[in-house]
Amino acid sequence: MHCGLLGRKLSHSYSPQIHKLLGDYTYELFEREPQMLKSFFEETECTGFNVTIPYKKDVLSFCDELTPTAQLLGSVNTIVKKEDGRRIGHNTDYYGFLSMLERSGLDVSDKKVLVLGSGGASVTVCAVLKSRGANTVVISRTGENNYSNLHRHCDAAVIVNTTPVGMYPNNGESPLSLAHFPKLEGVLDLIYNPARTKLLLDAQSRGLVAQCGLWMLVAQAKESAEFFTGKSIDESLIATIHDQLAAQMKNIVLIGMPGCGKSTIGLQLANALGREFIDADERIINEAGISIPEIFDRSGEEGFRSIETKVLSQLGKLSGAVIATGGGCVTKPENYELLHQNAVIYFIKRDIGSLPVDGRPLSASGDLQKMYAERLPLYEAFADARICNDKDICDAVNEILRLEKTV
Ligand code: NAP
């Protein structure tokens, strides 16, 4: 069986990988311009295919029949060709978002839910929310309810982002401030790159439920695969594929005192996992065009830190890299979100007496004990996990590999 994905820009698509794990069929990407749609439908030999941005409405006219869900939403993301040649249009985004909502544990019944954006995904999200008894309000830049009168909705319990605001490469942008919503219980963001948009990071920092759209992406693919093959797929496969993708997409970031072994551990870790290794200090040297001691001589620590933050804002957007940071990156609070948006952060702990100081301007110039006492709470606040590097470096690497298998 031959299946695929029809869309305009597909180079970053995870669908081939997801479908490989879902069923026994080939899955090809079909990047087509709008004027090529007709010929695509005339020529394609696919028995089933998915449809993505910007064609979910355009393909309606190529379907011979729509399922009730596709008809209700007025958009199709899955087309299956029957033996008699008739094309049936489905919408599995509905199931995908329903599954994401259920996984979040949020109960939306009789509660106000703000849905940001009024595009195709917004229609799907609103239909699911209404089926669960929510009182939905669409916030649109140009609608009656917009970003200038959010005070009308300070009683909102849940916010769902269906806009592209905050999506790679515009990481760090947010459609609104959560400070307006004292009754908020959770935020769902359909974006999955980065794993934690600015909106989700804000929700997490307030102790709210925060979930990205990766689960929805996998769940809608699972239902599509069922339509392609005519066979039901166990729900548990959604979690298996989701966890595998999430692990592959996230960065592994190492923090800790200068000389604690971050670069050596990072390189070994990257080799063991087949990932790219990046030393943030090397990137800073490239960015500045001079050595780190020279940066300190010319611009002081403040100058160094501002180059470091610029470099981390680029590195934090990556996916699947192992990144060793400079020892003082934790001294700037804004570096936390830059690193955390897509990563698990390991604090590499090493006995203070074993730390080298040569070539490290701050370590060589001051009291290492004092520096450690100041930074320890910062490392702890940044870290998701702690790794001891007092014995063999291989032990530290293996411990991270062991933890990576369990996350
Ligand atoms: P769309 O039809 O283009 O709609 C996006 C809506 O967002 C627009 O209608 C617009 O609404 C709003 N918007 C666009 N740019 C904005 C900006 N700069 N500031 C504020 N609002 C803006 O796209 P879509 O198909 O609905 O997809 C929306 C998002 O959901 C995309 O990021 C997509 O990747 C994601 N998505 C994820 C999944 C998944 O499986 N996880 C599935 C479907 C979609 P207003 O004009 O009313 O403000």
User: From the CB of 50, is ligand 1 less than 6 Å away?
Assistant: no
User: From the CB of 216, is ligand 1 less than 6 Å away?
Assistant: yes
Among protein residues, the one with the nearest Cα to ligand 1's atom 2 is 119
One-character DSSP codes across 85-153: S-EEEE--HHHHHHHHHHHHT---TTSEEEEE--SHHHHHHHHHHHHTT-EEEEE-TTSSS-TT-GGGG
Among protein residues, the one with the nearest Cα to ligand 1's atom 19 is 165
Catalytic site residue from 9, 56, 222, 405: 56
Residues 291, 285 contacting (CB under 8 angstroms): yes
Among protein residues, the one with the nearest Cα to ligand 1's atom 22 is 163
* C-alpha span between 18 and 217 (Å, rounded): 9
What is the structure's pLDDT at 284? 98
Q: Is 56 a catalytic residue?
A: yes
Q: At what angle do helices 262-273 and 393-406 cross, to 10 degrees?
A: 50
Q: How many CB atoms lie within 10 A of CB 23?
A: 19
User: From the CB of 190, is ligand 1 less than 6 Å away?
Assistant: yes
* C-alpha span between 351 and 53 (Å, rounded): 53
What is the structure's pLDDT at 407? 52
pLDDT tens for each residue of the chain, 407 residues long: 999 999 999 998 999 999 999 999 999 999 999 999 999 999 999 999 999 999 999 999 999 999 999 999 999 999 999 999 999 999 999 999 999 999 999 999 999 999 999 999 999 999 999 999 999 999 999 999 999 999 999 999 999 999 999 999 999 999 999 999 999 999 999 999 999 999 999 999 999 999 999 999 999 999 999 999 999 999 999 999 999 999 999 999 999 999 999 999 999 999 999 999 999 999 999 999 999 999 999 999 999 999 999 999 999 999 999 999 999 999 999 999 999 999 999 999 999 888 876 766 666 666 888 999 999 999 999 999 999 999 899 999 999 999 998 65
What is the structure's pLDDT at 224? 98
- Please give the distance, rounded to the nearest whole angstrom, from the Cα atom of residue 119 to the centre of ligand 1: 6
Residues 241, 17 contacting (CB under 8 angstroms): no
User: From the CB of 328, is ligand 1 less than 6 Å away?
Assistant: no
Length of the chain: 407
**Helix, coil or strand: residue 302:** helix
User: From the CB of 164, is ligand 1 less than 6 Å away?
Assistant: yes
Alpha-carbon torsion (169, 175, 179, 185), positive or negative:
negative
Residues 68, 23 contacting (CB under 8 angstroms): no
Q: Which atom of ligand 1 is nearest to the CA of 163?
A: 7
